Amino acid sequence: MSIKMEMLRCFRAVVEHGRLSDAAEALGRTSSAVSMMLKQFEDHIGKPLFETTRKARLTALGQQIYNEACRELDHFDRTLINIEGLARAEIGYVRLAVTPSVATVILPPILRSFVENHPKVRVEMRDMNSTGVQRALLNERVDIGIASFGPVAGLEREKLFGDPFGVVCRFDSPLAQHKRALSWEDLNARDFIANGLCQQIKDPEFQQILDDSVMYVPNTSSILALVRAGVGVTLLPKLAVLPDFRDLVFVPLANDVPEREVYLATPPKALLTPAALAFVDAIWANPHGVPADRL
């Protein structure tokens, strides 16, 4: 007969309560059931665990086994708690990869709400461009991605919101003084800084502006720094221009405004942990997380 966890529980209860009847009450069993379980345990050990039949004092071996039994039972109970916590999304971890604008503008209120409701779940967030988000998902380095990219085999993708493109320039640029939305013609003869997001705009008139551009900068932070320095103007989604950039202006485009489509992407839901699924639910409970004046 192998040693069972219930044998260890009975043994510990008898040691800690001092009498079979008290141990049985604590375990919710009859005294005879506890006595039988304890006898089976001692028979398996092959040596007495108590000095007397009254179970008042442990033998030296009994004391050593009691210490080991307590350690094993405590570990087992912690493991059960952790397993149940993982299943209920009370513990665990969530790995996110998002674009910088999403990390700065969209996620803070969502994270605040999630942490309040799941205080023991660890959240790891990385900000990167959309290509990096897609790569991190495919390499299984993250559970959830929020970015802009097309359909990808092996990933589930749902649109969260659209973020309109516009011209980004310094506050003292002539473009910032326009009282109307801008057209593509307004960008002619301007020093235009191209970026990766520009590829999402298919309008032929804009393609000519891209072809004429002599500067390409993929990193949004670097682009904004160049615009602030007066190197040129660029085209970005509205959320990419953070409120802290007070010396930059986002100028809307006229008619048929293109927009960046922002998607929530994950592996198939069946492969997500309960904690990751809970975070997905938190995102859909507040998909924008953006003040109205920022959209």
- Among the three residues 33, 65, 87, which one is the final residue of a domain in this structure? 87
CATH number for 145? 3.40.190.10
Pair 99, 128: CB distance under 8 Å: yes
CATH number for 21? 1.10.10.10
Q: What is the pLDDT of residues 240-289, one digit of tens each?
A: 887 777 899 999 998 677 888 999 999 999 899 999 999 999 999 876 55
Instruction: Give CA separation, 144 vs 3, 135, 187, in Å.
Output: 44, 12, 37
Assess whether pLDDT exceeds 50 at residue 294: no
Pair 259, 162: CB distance under 8 Å: yes
142 and 268 both lie in a single domain? yes
* Chain Cα centroid distance, residue 88: 16
Q: Which position has the higher pLDDT, 199 or 215?
A: 215
Structural domain contains residue 47: yes
pLDDT of residue 292: 43
Task: Give the domain range for residue 59.
Answer: 5-87
Pair 146, 280: CB distance under 8 Å: no
Which string of b and e fits 54-70 if b means at least 16 CB within 10 Å? ebeebeeebeebbeebe
Structural domain contains residue 269: yes
75 and 117 both lie in a single domain? no
- Coil, strand or helix at 33: helix
38 and 180 both lie in a single domain? no
Structural domain contains residue 58: yes
Interatomic CA distance for residues 40 and 2, integer angstroms:
10
267 and 143 both lie in a single domain? yes
Structural domain contains residue 294: no
Q: What is the pLDDT of residues 177-194, one digit of tens each?
A: 887 889 899 998 889 999
pLDDT of residue 287: 60
- Coil, strand or helix at 145: strand
Residue type, 175: L
Structural domain contains residue 37: yes
